[in-house]
Amino acid sequence: MKVSIIVPTKNEEKNIKEILDKAKKFGEEILVVDGHSTDKTPDIVQATGVKLIEDQGLGKGEALRRAIKETSADIMVFIDADGSHNSEDIPKLIEPIKDNQADLVIASRRTGGSDELYGDLNKFFRELGSNIITLLINHHFKTAVTDSQNGFRAIKASLAKELDLKENITTIEQEMLIKVLRKGGRVTEIPSHENKRKYGCSVIKLSKVWWRYIYSCLKYLYFYS
């Protein structure tokens, strides 16, 4: 089965080459979707020979939706460009799909540990919100998912194309999970450790977008058909 590694990125010039160098050995196709970087990220990507796609700059969700349309692979692996995910876990992510045991596989920080979930007020609320949303999803579908939000995941490409994903920001991860479960898809997890990003800082400000997570979760759980 052909595997495509999808890397959404924006202004990650210090991280992107290392991410691509580590990830490319695990997939037959690498797609970098850039959200209008103003640094040297696009130049570095093109120098590696990896396919670069420019989206409209609406957010990570738009980048993933664009990649789903572009890919020619059977399995899609989404990995962030900040160095927080371990590329060495990609084989474990895709194995359940290759073995026809799962349709969506999420790398769980709850079972693998994290350097980014704890330590300050912003991380506390990030953890709290994630737990609440995961609890709502598990209660609704009678599942036992531990990490509904991690962007490091693999999905059967044919299923991803059927989901009609709408979210433009990182809420796409919970939308994807909910819609897979709505379709009766098989979801499993593998433990994976989340590293602290090496360079730069996260562009996600929970104080500005927390309500979008709650709204998105409730919308797709209870008001979307």
pLDDT in tens, 95-113: 999 999 999 999 999 999 8
Residue 185 · residue 159 · CB < 8 Å: yes
5-59 confidence digits (pLDDT tens): 999 999 999 999 999 999 999 999 999 999 999 999 999 999 999 999 999 999 9
Which pLDDT does position 202 carry in this prediction?
57
Read off the pLDDT band of 114 (50, 70, 90).
confident
Query: Nearest 10 degrees: CA dihedral of 124, 216, 173, 190?
Result: 60
The pLDDT tens digits of the residues spanning 45-78 come to: 999 999 999 999 999 999 999 999 999 999 999 9
Would you give the DSSP letter of residue 57? Answer: S
| The pLDDT of residue 121 | 75
> In this predicted model, what pLDDT tens digit does every residue of 132-174 receive, in sequence order?
999 999 999 999 999 999 999 999 999 999 999 999 999 999 9
Residue 49 and residue 30: Cα distance in Å, rounded? 10
How far apart are the C-alpha atoms of 144 and 36, rounded to whole Å? 37
pLDDT of residue 139: 97
Radius of gyration of the chain measured on its C-alpha atoms: 16
Contact present, 169 and 212 (Cβ < 8 Å): yes
Per domain, the residue ranges of the chain are 3-223
Question: Which pLDDT belongs to residue 197?
Answer: 76
**The model's pTM:** 0.93
CATH code of the domain made up of 3-223: 3.90.550.10
Other CB atoms within 10 Å distance of the CB of residue 136: 18
pLDDT of residue 134: 97
Burial class (CB in 10 A: 0-12, 13-18, 19+), 17: middle
